[in-house]
A and B are shown apart, each in its own frame.
With several copies, the nearest count.
Chain A
Amino acid sequence: MGKNITLSFGGGMEILFNNTKEREIELPDSVVNIKDLIAYMKDELLQERPELFVLNDSVRPGIIVLINNADWEIEGGLEYELEDDDEITFISTLHGG
């Protein structure tokens, strides 16, 4: 059985994913780490315009990725292995004032 995780979006990223800021998904067994998750999201969940989400097997610059509310860089980045009940967040950096 696949793992269940929560995806959360902000800063406009939600517009690419069905205009939903939070959703739970069950992952196929093939999705092991964040790199797999990004590929899976691009292929299966993204509504349009992949260039607004991915660049060279990672997220494009200007997207903050959080693993359980911490910067993904301190959790291992693309190599982080997903666990049940993880919350993975994709938030675009904002530029406005």
Chain B
Amino acid sequence: MSKEDLDRYSRQILMNNFNKDSQLKLLNTSVLIIGAGGLGSTAILYLGSAGFGRIGIVDNDVVEETNLHRQVIHDETKIGLSKAVSAQQTIKKLNSKCECYVYKLLLTSENALSVIKPYDIVIDATDNVCATYLINDACILTNKILIQASALRMEGQLSVFNYNNGPCYRCLNPIPPPAGTVTKCNVSGVLGVVPGIMGCFQAVEAIKIAAGLGANYSQKLLIYDAELGKVRVVKTRPKQENCSICGKNPSITSLIDYEDFCNMKKCTNPN
């Protein structure tokens, strides 16, 4: 490692369970963050600054004013600009040594595998159920570790999937929720800093996994409620033998039509 890197990451390397080798592992690990919105904002800031060698950012949206109460990687000068490009600009200034690639596209069944393939770890920072199933299935098919989180109102949830023979999102949620039961930030609202916290927790998982310190929330679910000030970590079921994507005889062997599967006429973009 260069002296410059040793300096820049010195506060991290000083930790008794994190040394030069751990930092080298980060420098040799790549992370793809899907969604540069509320969750993505802090996830990207901390992954870009922690010393990952390469990060990728996927987002097809542009920055809007209503995003700015929570999407703090952007700012007023970026309104109208691609969120992925805006986030990339912030990272280039924060850590010019981090290779940062952008994908200004909507992740679909057609492009997901090729976008995900070059990365070691995937972070689902999207805001809709179709995207979550799509990303889960694409991570299983390409054998990538997936750190999934979501936030709404004053609550957040997080889990790590496809890690060390642990479960995937479908193992826990084989059937999608009925379309009428799902609400989003533009309907139910969200306290800006709650996705901020969940994005930070996603970054912790990525760093620990890359450094070889182990994931905290594989086969576990973190549930945060800012209204009650409560944080629960609960044990979930293990990998399911009959899972339709990661089980012994998977019925899904290539990506499917996720809007159809989720009974949604149209899924919105990840943001």
Residues of A within 8 A of B (CB): 10-12, 15, 21-22, 51-52, 55, 60-64, 66, 69-71, 73-74, 91-97
Q: Is the CB of A97 within 8 A of B38?
A: yes
Q: Is the CB of A97 within 8 A of B35?
A: yes
Q: Is the CB of A94 within 8 A of B152?
A: yes
Known: A95-B182, A97-B39. A61 touches B234 (CB 8 A): no
Q: Is the CB of B181 within 8 A of A71?
A: no
Instruction: Give the docked Cα–Cα distance between A74 and B171 (Å).
Output: 13
Instruction: Give the docked Cα–Cα distance between A91 and B222 (Å).
Output: 12
Q: Which residues of chain A are near B155, meaning CB under 8 Å? A: 10-11, 94
Contact segment of B2-10, B23-31, B103-111, B184-192: B184-192
Indicate if B236 sits at the interface (CB-CB under 8 A).
yes
Encode contact with A along B167-195: 1 for CB under 8 Å, 0 otherwise: 00000111111101111110010100001
Known: A71-B234, A96-B190. A62 touches B151 (CB 8 A): no
Interchain Cβ contacts within 8 Å, total number? 109
Sorted nearest first, the 10 A-B pairs with minimum C-beta distance are: A62-B177, A96-B152, A61-B175, A97-B127, A94-B150, A97-B39, A73-B237, A71-B236, A96-B185, A94-B152
Give the distance to chain B from A71, nearest Cβ to Cβ, in Å.
4
Known: A12-B153, A97-B37. A60 touches B181 (CB 8 A): yes
Q: Which residues of chain A are near B221, meaning CB under 8 Å? A: 64, 71
CB-defined A-B contacts under 8 Å, sample of 24: A12-B183, A21-B228, A51-B178, A51-B181, A52-B180, A55-B178, A60-B181, A61-B173, A61-B174, A61-B175, A62-B178, A62-B182, A66-B234, A69-B234, A70-B234, A73-B236, A93-B150, A93-B173, A95-B183, A96-B151, A96-B185, A96-B188, A97-B40, A97-B150
Give the distance to chain B from A13, nearest Cβ to Cβ, in Å.
10
Give the distance to chain B from A58, nearest Cβ to Cβ, in Å.
11
Indicate if B225 sits at the interface (CB-CB under 8 A).
yes
Contact pick for A12, options B176, B188, B237, CB 8 Å: B188
Tally B residues with Cβ within 8 Å of A: 50
Closest A-chain residue to B225, C-beta based? A10
Q: Is the CB of B151 within 8 A of A52?
A: no
Q: Which residues of chain A are near B184, meaning CB under 8 Å? A: 95-96
Known: A97-B37, A97-B40, A97-B126. A61 touches B150 (CB 8 A): no
Indicate if B227 sits at the interface (CB-CB under 8 A).
yes
Residues B108-154 near A (CB distance < 8 A): 125-129, 132, 149-153
Q: Is the CB of A15 within 8 A of B176?
A: no
Q: Which residues of chain A are near B228, meaning CB under 8 Å? A: 21-22
Q: Is the CB of B173 within 8 A of A96?
A: no
Indicate if B156 sits at the interface (CB-CB under 8 A).
yes
Q: Is the CB of B181 within 8 A of A96?
A: no
Give the distance to chain B from A28, nearest Cβ to Cβ, in Å.
28
Encode contact with A along B207-232: 1 for CB under 8 Å, 0 otherwise: 00000000000000101010110001
